[in-house]
Structures are given as C-alpha cells and as structure tokens.
Structure 1
Amino acid sequence: MAAPLHPDCQAFLNFVAELGRPRFEDMAALDTRTLYAAGRKVLQPASPDVAEARDLVLPSGVAARLYRPMGSTAGEALPCLVFAHGGGWVVGDLDTHDHPARTIANLSGCAVLSVDYRLAPEHRFPAAVEDFGEAVRYAAANAVALGIDPDRLAVGGDSAGGNLAAVAALMSRDGSLPPLRFQMLIYPVTEMAQTHESYVRFTSASGLPLTDATMRWFRDHYAPESASWNDWRASPLRAASLSGTAPAFVLTVGHDPLCDEGRDYAARLEREGVRVTHVHAADMLHGVMTMSAIVKPALGYMEMAARALRDAMG
C-alpha cells in the first residue's frame, strides 16, 4: 500500500481534475506536446537568473542550451552536467525544463548542458540515445569553447531523461562515451517491459497523471517493437552488469508506476559496487521536479540532487 500523498500533490491532482484535462493516451502526440508545454506557466515558478544561458546547435542539428550558474566567471572552467528532460521521449523540450536546469546549475555551481533530443514517434529508439550521447561527446570535445572542465562531466535527467542518463553512464563505462564523474537519475525509466508491481498499483483508476496506460502509450511511441526492450540502451536494468558506472544519485517517488524499477536500479547499483545515494519520497508523485510552484517540497529534492552533484565534482 502506498503512503498518503503529500497535501501539495493532492492539491495538484484536484487542480487537474477541475480542469478536466484529457489524458495523454487519449490524444495525438503533437497535441500532447502543446498541452505539456502550456503547463509550465502554472506548475513552475519563474526561472531564476543564471550567469549565462546560451543556445547551441550540435553538429547533427540537435539544439541544446548551456547554463552557467550565478557567481561563475566567463573564463572559469566549470564542471558540467549534461541533462536530458523528461516527457516519455514524446513531449518536453528545453523550455519545459528551463526552471529545473537553471535551478540545478545555481544550486550545484556546475554548468548544465540541456539537450533537446529528437522525440518519438517521429524519431524512435535509439534516436534519443544517439542524440544524448552526441551531447556528452560534444561537451568533452568543445570544453574550452564552452568554458567547462572535460574531466568533470556528469549526466542526469528526469523520467525518460533519467533513462537516457543511465544508458549514457553505461556507455561511458564501456568506453563509447567520455568518462563521467556522476549520474543523476530522477524517477528514471529503467525497464521497458513494464512488469514491475508498481504498474499494477498505479493504473488509470489511481487518478495520477502518469499511470500504467500512460507509460504504455509513451513506450509504444518510442520503442514499439518488443525485441528492443531487451536492449540495455532501452532497459538499462537489463544490462549484464552495472559495475563500474559513475557514482549515482537516484530519486524515486512513491506514487509512480516507475517506482519499483527505480528502486531496483538503485539496489543493483549498490550490490554491484557503485556508490549510490537513493532517496525515496513516499508521499510524492511522478513529475514533481516540474511542479515546484504547487508542490513546494520539490525544490528540496532538487537541492539534494544538486548537492550530490556538487560533492561528486569536488
């Protein structure tokens, strides 16, 4: 049985119910992007100032945005978090996650390179993996121009972005991406088969914005072929070993169909010798990092993640 929801989370659910907002799985992908982007004005506070926010284009044409934290100087080589936004690989962009990216930069003292990877269903698995990997390589190869330290790189993301960050950490361990100091996994997707018990707990009847049906809808847009679910680039929990990956911060939340696979991933990291900080917020729901105007504790969890990043970067 799940712990009771935090009152702020319940207030969010009440607000959504009053709006009568349609569920993603009942909409076309393009319409969900518009709806998701519109929520930013209500769910997130104004984005904090940073020293610099620079729009970039990777060699492949993928957009990115580099944030430098308040208090940093132009010539300072900062540690850098390469960040992937959430949204089920279908929705989300640089702007929907502008507030979290700026907040993490300021709280950690690190630069943040946010990546506008290609979305499904126009670009299915492994397009997002390829784009995020390109961004990590780009950060290392262009460190001087970007004002970052190539020896202090990290990856992170929320939900689908957490999936991409976990995969990048495995790729780095195996030598196909530059070395990483840290991985920040915020309620990550780690298992495409969606067989964990939390999918049974959080069906459409739960009233949550993310349910088993919503996750199937996302997966069917991104990785519709069941054969791909065995690929660790889609399901990092299925990697033969997690040993040797970068130290991790893993946040899981109690009211979330992804809860159990995230907890399993954190437990495997620990068993296989990876230094991991696992925070489980039993009274929170999926997506709180982009709801901090309503769900006040969300900022505290961002502070925890940013502090872990700062400590890992020395």
Structure 2
Amino acid sequence: MWKKGIKIIVIITVIFSIVTAISIENWSKTAHGQLPSKTAVVLHAINNNLVSLNTNIEAPEFLSPDSSSKNQMKKHNIMIPVEENKKIPVRIYHYSNTDNAPVIMYYHGGAFLEGYGNLETHDSLIRSLAAKTGAVVVSPGYRLAPEHIFPTAVEDSYKALQWAYENAEKYGGNPDKIAVAGDSAGGNLAAVTALKSRNLDGPKLFAQVLYYPLTTFRDVEFDSRSMYDRGYYLLSKQVMLKARNSYTPEEEMWQNPYSSPLYADDLSGLPPAYIITAQFDPLRDEGELYGKKLHNSGVTVKTTRYNGVMHGFVSFYEVMSSGNQALQESAQFLEKVENDTIDTTENYDVSVKKGPRGFKRFKEEAEAFAIGAFLVGKSMIKLFIK
C-alpha cells in the first residue's frame, strides 16, 4: 500500500514540476524577446497580483544574500523641520560602532505619488545599501503629490540634506563626506538635490548614485519610453502621465531644471555619478543620456545597463542577483570616489552587464523554479477555492 502511495506522490511531483517548467517558459516569452527565468517569475507574480508590488519576494533563506547583517543595523525614526510648522519623517540607518563614516542621503522612488512608494516600501533596499557601504544612511519621507506639488519634494529633499550636514556627527557620520542616492523618482530627486546644492553653495557632495532615474518631464521621444511603456515591466505610460499631471501640473514646471535635470543649462561641477539602468525600462534611455551630458560637462560618470531586468530591479535584490550586484557595485563606486581612486575616461560609454553565468546561473534557475513552483501552487489553490 505504501509503495502505491509513493508512486502517486512521485507522479504528482513530476506532473507538477512539468507544469511549473512549462509555466515559467510561457511567462518568459514577451514581445521583446525571451526574459531570464528569474525576471519572468518576478514579473508574473506582480502583474498577476500573486504578490504585492510593495511586498518583498524572498528567496529560500539559505540562498538569500546579505542576510547576516540585518540584526546588527540600528534604525532611528525621527521628524525634522522643513518649513514653519511643517515636519517630515526621516529614517536613519547605521551600525552601533559607526564613527566618521560617509553619509548617504537616500531618496525613495514611487512616482512622486502618495501610495506608490515610501520609507516602508524601500526599507529593505536602503538597509542593504547601508550594510554594504557601512555608511550612515539618511532617508527622508518627502511630501508627495497630489497634495504637494513641485517643488515641495525638491525643497524637502534639500532641507533634509542640510539637516544631515548639521546632524551627521550625532550618528557617527562625517558631514564632509555626503553622497546622494535614489531610485526612479528618488533618482530624480538625488540628481536635483546635487544640482541645487551646487547652485546654492550648500553641502559639498562627494558622489551621486542614481538607479534608473527619471530625468525629464518633457515630451521627448525615447525608444525605451515607447517600447516598454505598457506597464508589464512595472512602469507604465499611464503612471508616468499620472505622476507628471499630479506632481508637475503646469507645463512650465516641466522645463525647470529641478524637475528635468536632463535639460539643465549647466551640469559642470557636480559630484561623480554612478547611473544604473535596466534593459526593460521606459526610463533607460533618459538615464543613459543624462550620464552622457554629465560626462560632456566634465563630470566623472560610470553608467551601467543591466540586461534581462526591469524597472525597479534593485528593490528585488534578495531574489535577483543583478539587483544585489548593482548594490554591491554602488558600494564599490562610493568607496573608490571617497578614496579618490575612481578611473576617469575620455569617452563616455554604457557598460552592459549580462546575466549570471556558471554556478550563479544555475543558482538563478533553481531559485526561479522554486519561486515559480510556489506561484503555480498558489494559483492552483486559488482556483480550487473558487
């Protein structure tokens, strides 16, 4: 009897494995070519509401990178003044033994809109960046549209930088070594804060790290905007228009360099920049063009495009090796700039990172299958419940 039971279990397991493999293969097929398995399962999970976009998709614990440092990190939630009778939340990450460490101002993404991104949705990403750099990371919860339109987020971001400069030493940070960083809308704010600090003779920044930044609100024909704007890759034309109409409701706002730094008249004198873009991302081309314009203005720039991934991929660093690699290379870039060992080149180019190879590729495929099996099982359970 027990042998029959084992046979049934084996048959069910084989069938389930075949269904999972076929499902992942189908999820990988898109109008723009074959996606890597890991990218496909993450996108399928989010686009089919099997997990929330604001929920971390975690790999099995023994496969998950950067887990050893989580319990060692200190986190403070405070409120800081930005104008008379107005305060915003700020979250500070640092190690207990931090002393004279660099400071990173991190501006979270989320289309400048309420309900799309905040300190909670980006907590894991920012914590990981703090762990990989050993820096004191200060992340402000700037005010969001539609209640607060441009330039409120810009003013909040700059006020937070000034606050960090004045208070960094309380948390073991060095006020003379501050960098800015951010993703998507936050990448825009990081770039703009660097520009504003230069213009107003504010805190001198030593670097900027921009993850797939939005660099212009103008109507510009970029190939990436037209190719990947349907929302399958986590950012749609609809959301971009909603962000523009809510955050910059007047067309003259689109021309302002503090909303569209890509068309600032002067980009010289800005800190060295590391710009990361994704292959399947509407914002890819404008991020890379911003890097070129920085380079042409005499700014040291490193631009890296990660192939096989989508907008927001760094936030999935726990399951996507490209995201974890991007964070690691960000930390290395910041260290080199801080130590004045960064290479400079005469020509501007975009370095393209391909997917993992060898054992890392095997690991990615194994994780993709494990996550895919979970998603297939979850879908089956939902089907039976109905």
Compute the TM-score of the two structures, normalised by the length of structure 2: 0.72
Looking at structure 2, the residues matched to 130 and 151 of structure 1 have their Cα atoms a distance apart, in angstroms, of 21
Is 1:13 matched with 2:43?
yes
Partner of 2:289: 264
Distance 1:249 1:4 in 2: 28
Q: Does the 8 Å contact 1:43/1:292 carry over to 2?
A: no
Q: Which amino acid counterpart does residue 73 of structure 1 have in structure 2?
A: N
Task: Look up the match of 1:85.
Answer: 108
Say if 2:226 is the partner of 1:200.
yes
| Gap change, CA 1:267 and 1:20, over 3 Å in 2 | same
Query: Quick one: distance in 1 between partners of 2:336 and 2:148?
Result: 36
Corresponding position: 1:161 with 2:186? yes
> What's the CA shift for 1:138?
0.4
Determine if the alignment matches structure 1 residue 73 to structure 2 residue 97: yes
Whole-Å separation in 1 of the counterparts to 2:110 and 2:58: 15
Counterpart-to-counterpart distance in 2, 1:166 and 1:89: 15
Separation of aligned partners in 1, 2:275 and 2:33: 19
RMSD over aligned CA atoms reads 2.1
Matching of residues 15-94 of structure 1 within 5 Å:
15-19=45-49, 36=53, 39-42=54-57, 48-60=70-82, 61-69=87-95, 73=97, 76-90=99-113, 91-94=116-119
- The residue that corresponds to 1:121 in the other structure is 146
Aligned counterparts of 1:43 and 1:300: Cα–Cα separation in 2: 16
Give the whole-Å Cα distance in 2 for the aligned partners of 1:143 and 1:16.
Answer: 38
Deviations 1:52-90, CA, capped at 9 Å, x for gaps: 111121123111111114xx615x121100010001111
Partner of 1:31: none
1:134 is aligned, of 153, 159, 163, to: 159
2:81 is paired with a residue whose SS is coil
Deviates more, 1:111-120 or 1:47-56: 47-56
- Change over 3 Å in CA distance of 1:43–1:197 after alignment to 2: farther
Q: 1:164 to 1:3 in 2, by over 3 A?
A: farther
Deviations 1:101-128 (A, max 9, x none): 1111111121110111111111111111
112 and 260 in structure 1: CA distance in 2 versus 1, 3 angstrom threshold: same
The whole-number CA distance in structure 2 between the counterparts of 1:95 and 1:20 is: 20
Could you tell me how far 1:12 is from its partner in structure 2? 1.4
Letter paired with 1:273: G
Taking a change above 3 Å as real, the CA distance of residues 231 and 43 of structure 1, as seen in their structure-2 partners, is farther
Secondary structure (helix, strand or coil) at the match of 1:59 reads strand
Query: Would you say how many aligned residue pairs link Structure 1 and Structure 2?
Result: 295
- Contact 2:210 2:273 survives alignment (8 Å): yes
Q: Distance in 2 between matches of 1:272 and 1:3?
A: 36
Distance in 2 (alpha carbons) for counterparts of 1:228 and 1:19: 35
Q: SS of the residue aligned with 1:73?
A: coil
Residue in 2 that maps onto 1:274: 299
Listed one character per residue, the Cα deviations across residues 176-233 of structure 1 (whole Å, up to 9, x for unaligned) are: 43110000100001011142222111232x6222122221122212112111000000
TM-score w.r.t. structure 1 length? 0.87
**Partner of residue 170, structure 2:** 145
Query: Which amino acid letter does the alignment assign opposite residue 257 of structure 1?
Result: P
Which range moves more in the overlay, 214-223 or 225-234?
214-223
CA contact (8 A) 1:85 1:158 kept: yes
1:310 CA drift (Å): 2.2
Deviation at 1:132, TM superposition (A): 0.6
Aligned-partner SS, 1:233: coil
Q: Is the contact made by 2:192 and 2:258 (CA closer than 8 Å) also made in structure 1?
A: yes
Q: 5+ residue gaps in structure 2?
A: 1-30, 340-386
- Counterpart CA distance in 2 for 1:108 and 1:129 is 25
Correspondence list, 1:234-273, <5 A: 234-273=259-298
Contact 1:2/1:254 (8 A) holds in 2: no
